[in-house]
Chains A and B, each alone.
Chain A
Amino acid sequence: MSVKEKLSCYTEHIPIWFMIRALLFCVKDDKCISAVYFMMHLAIYNKTMKPEGKGVEGSEPADSGNLNRTLVDLGKYRDKQLFLSVYDYFAPRLKSHLMGRGAHSEQAEELVQEAMLAVWKHCGNFNPDKAAASTWVFRITRNLWIDRMRKDKSHLMSPIDNYPEPTYTPSLVAADSDKLKQAIARLPQSQAQLVYKVYYEGKTHREIADENNMPLGSVKSGLRLAFEKLRAFTKAQPGEKL
């Protein structure tokens, strides 16, 4: 199956997968209503807004498979059409991601532009052996968001860079999206919810504990178990590098 086919069948299945999770959440925990609303939206969105017309005329729409190559090419040729194909892929996702973390629409958009500008400036340094393109963009966005949060309290700020470039390159097995999706789907709903809160909502352990009225220790152990399970899954096929 080509990467494109994979990607399209993946967008087909997101709503079903999310709906199942949503129902599971609902059955056991009525605090999840907002999560369910989010997923309903997602399902409707995916139905009504299929990727048609998303691509740029004259340029290949980017997908997660050829993004690595695209970013390397972008560093070499500095082609704006190529950049726009990367932009069209990431910008709407980054905007959702930032809004999930509490940015309002305008602020999210401003940060998306900043992140994408950083992609353009630094893609010459992008090394697909070190990280997948999406991970690289994810890091840029995460760091920009943290900087932005700090700026609001600049009087308190110490200029510590908590996310320096790694000194060593971990050997990573390319994450197989299908497998990872399966692994997440198999997590107990309480653990999946913790992962969701950490990654999508940017909540700290204590915020999660307070919100759900559970001991901090349980938040930590739930996340630990979830991570171990997901790691075990992605490690299943050694030898396959990024």
Chain B
Amino acid sequence: MKPHHHPDASSLMSYAAGSLPDALATVVACHVAVCEQCQQAVAEAEQLGHFLMEQQQQTELSAHARNDIISMLDAVEQSEPEQPASPVHDEGDIPLPLRPYLGDKLDSLHWKTMAPGIRQFIIPTTKGRLRLLKIAPGTSMPIHGHSGSELTMVLRGSYGDEVGRFQAGDVADLDPEIYHQPATDTHEDCICLIATDAPLKFTGLVPRILQPFFQL
């Protein structure tokens, strides 16, 4: 998989710094898992992170900290070695970082119908909102803008909007100024992983009324 659309450098940088809201960080992690170009950028941003960390002033630790750590080391040595994590199966279409939580297959999730042609699966996160959307062929989302950051990664199928065409592996990292109306553009369902850190802004009245019910 060689994605054509990537998260913005600002998102990769904040991801590397550990400063992206949880939900957005998950989308970046899923993309980075399949994109060498972004792995490179993240590694560079982490390098910048360590440089800035080293530049930082030093804060003295309490007097007993050094002795404490030595006794902690002793305790570790006496305890059992940790079991290595079990390897992940290579089959499946759920992004690697989500597999321990969701399993391997997108089709085995319990999708909930949200609107005609649109089904969703909500993934709880600590900061921001994260969901999977399954959009039937020929369906378009109501036109909307964003009051915050939105990251969308296509997992299956493709969609097009005012910004471009997005296929599996691609990430749309939209500026909040952009109002768009994504629509699936092939004969198969389009499944996306979408993270937002603020509610969407719909222009139509009906979607605005329904918004609270679907946690959009």
Contacts and interface: CB of A to CB of B under 8 A. Distances in A.
B115 interface: no
A93 B18 contact: no
B83 interface: no
A128 interface: no
B167 to A, nearest CB: 21
Interface in A195-215: 195, 198-200, 202-206, 215
Given A91-B65, A158-B125, A198-B19, 16 more contacts: A49-B58, A112-B65, A121-B82, A131-B46, A134-B54, A143-B18, A160-B125, A161-B97, A162-B28, A164-B29, A166-B39, A195-B48, A205-B10, A216-B175, A217-B177, A227-B45
B51 A95 contact: no
A87 B66 contact: yes
Given A42-B57, A131-B43, A206-B198, A199 B149 contact: no
A142 B56 contact: no
Interface size class of chain B, counting residues whose CB lies under 8 Å from the partner chain:
35 or more
Contact of A160 (B21, B48, B98): B98
B19 A203 contact: yes
A159 interface: yes
Contacts of A92: 58-61
Nearest to B68: A113
Question: Which 6 pairs show the lowest CB-CB distances between chains A and B?
Answer: A92-B58, A223-B10, A142-B18, A134-B50, A170-B40, A138-B50
A87 B50 CA distance: 16
Interface in A141-167: 141-143, 145-146, 149-150, 153, 156-164, 166-167
B26 to A, nearest CB: 5
B70 interface: yes
Contacts of B8: 220, 224
Given A160-B26, A164-B97, A94 B53 contact: yes
Given A99-B59, A138-B53, A150-B126, A113 B72 contact: yes
A200 B126 contact: no
B131 to A, nearest CB: 12
7 contacts: A92-B60, A142-B17, A160-B123, A162-B29, A168-B36, A204-B21, A222-B10
Contacts of A180: 48, 51
A96 interface: yes
Interface in A101-147: 105, 108-109, 112-113, 116-117, 120-121, 131-132, 134-135, 137-139, 141-143, 145-146
B48 A223 contact: no
A24 interface: no
A87 to B, nearest CB: 6
B176 A202 contact: no
Nearest to B77: A78
B61 A112 contact: yes
Q: Is the interface of A mostly helix, strand, loop or mixed?
A: helix
Interface size class of chain A, counting residues whose CB lies under 8 Å from the partner chain:
35 or more
Nearest to A43: B57
Nearest to A139: B46
B17 A175 contact: no
Interface in B23-37: 25-26, 28-29, 32-33, 36
B53 A93 contact: yes
Nearest to B149: A205
A234 interface: yes
B149 A117 contact: no
Given A109-B65, A217-B176, A234-B44, A202 B50 contact: no
